[in-house]
A = this chain, B = another copy of it.
Amino acid sequence: MASRAHGQLNPCMKPERPLILICNDDGIEAAGILSLAAAMDGLGDIVVAAPLTEQSAVGHAITMRDPVRARPWPFRGPSGQIPAYAISGTPADCVKLAMDKLVPRKPDLVVSGINHGPNTAVNVIYSGTVSAATEAAILGIPAIAFSYCKWGGGGDFEASGRVARQIAQRTLQGGLTPGLLLNVNIPDLPYSEIKGMMITRQARSKWEESFAERTDPFNRTYYWLSGTFVNLDSGENTDVYAVENGWVSITPIQHDLTAYGAMASLEEWDWGSLD
């Protein structure tokens, strides 16, 4: 079998257009995924596989103890109807199920988003948008997560869509090292005011939690997650810095969490013998 990836075509076969799989975590009806599908228009064949309902902050959750369903969904792009499925699961579920059951061939690119709100710094590990792209990267497919850095509702995905198209085109041309994905954060600015693209690292940061403590109508205490984002990083090559200063942030992300730099010093620990 000839490989169909990256233009290595069997000369007896017609060249295939790239296949682009689109996912998100805000759900299949979100404005961001419509914008992303429009941005991909003409770059290849498109399939949408996205959660039926919003799945923000699910991280890399997968559904193991319940079944997952995929419902064909009317999804209209600029050039007509796009094959689309609304899935009763997490973003990672969507990519796993699409790869196994829904796409006609192995995708050349998986794009996730456009998320409404930033996925920078420590937030990357909570992000369903990024987890969909991570799942694709694990399976060896170039993948990009896109986020539009506007908090709250509203705003305009126009500039984010144009940026997403450029980065997707460039990635389809060049491919990515297997296992890598790009985490792209786009500032909330008109396109003409964006300064350009910056390759960044995740800013060191944390959330300082301060759960709201309340009492329900039955006089029982409950808590609601709330907190303050603390940027601990004054570097000028971080994702947070880029977006705050009008640049598109492009962070290469990998899913191997090993802290290689720490292995040698841990070897030197006296672990004690097992007696």
- A3 interfacial contact with B, CB 8 Å: no
Decide if A258 touches B253 in the complex (CB within 8 Å): yes
User: CA separation between A263 and B176, bound complex, in Å?
Assistant: 12
B223 contacts A250, C-beta separation under 8 Å = no
B contact residues around A222 at 8 Å (CB) = 67-69
Contact digits for A235-272, partner B, Cβ 8 Å, 1 yes 0 no? 00000000000000011111111111011011101111
- Choose from B59, B225, B256 the contact partner of A58 (Cβ within 8 Å): B59
Q: CA A59 – CA B196 in complex, angstroms?
A: 34
Is A274 a contact partner of B223 (Cβ separation < 8 A)?
A: no
Number of identical protomers:
2
Closest chain B residue, CB of each to CB of A213? B101
A23 at the interface (CB under 8 A from B): no
**Total interface residues in chain A, CB < 8 Å:** 85
Residue of B163, B170, B224 touching A270 (CB-CB under 8 A): B170
Cβ 8 A contact of A57, one of B64, B97, B174: B64
* B64 in contact with A61 (CB, 8 Å): no
Interface flags for A55-84 (1: CB within 8 Å of B; 0: not) read: 011111111110111100000000000000
Are A122 and B138 interface neighbours, CB within 8 A?
yes
Determine if A57 and B68 form an interchain contact, defined as CB atoms under 8 angstroms apart: no
Partner among B68, B163, B166, B214 whose Cβ is within 8 Å of the Cβ of A211: B68
- A96, B252: Cβ atoms closer than 8 Å: no
By a beta-carbon cutoff of 8 Å, the part of chain A in contact with chain B is 54, 56-65, 67-70, 92-93, 96-97, 99-101, 122, 124-126, 131, 134, 138-140, 162-163, 166-167, 170, 174, 177, 179-180, 182, 191, 194, 196-197, 199, 201-202, 204, 206-207, 209-211, 213-214, 216, 220-225, 250-260, 262-263, 265-267, 269-274
5 nearest CB pairs, A to B: A59-B60, A67-B222, A252-B262, A59-B59, A254-B259
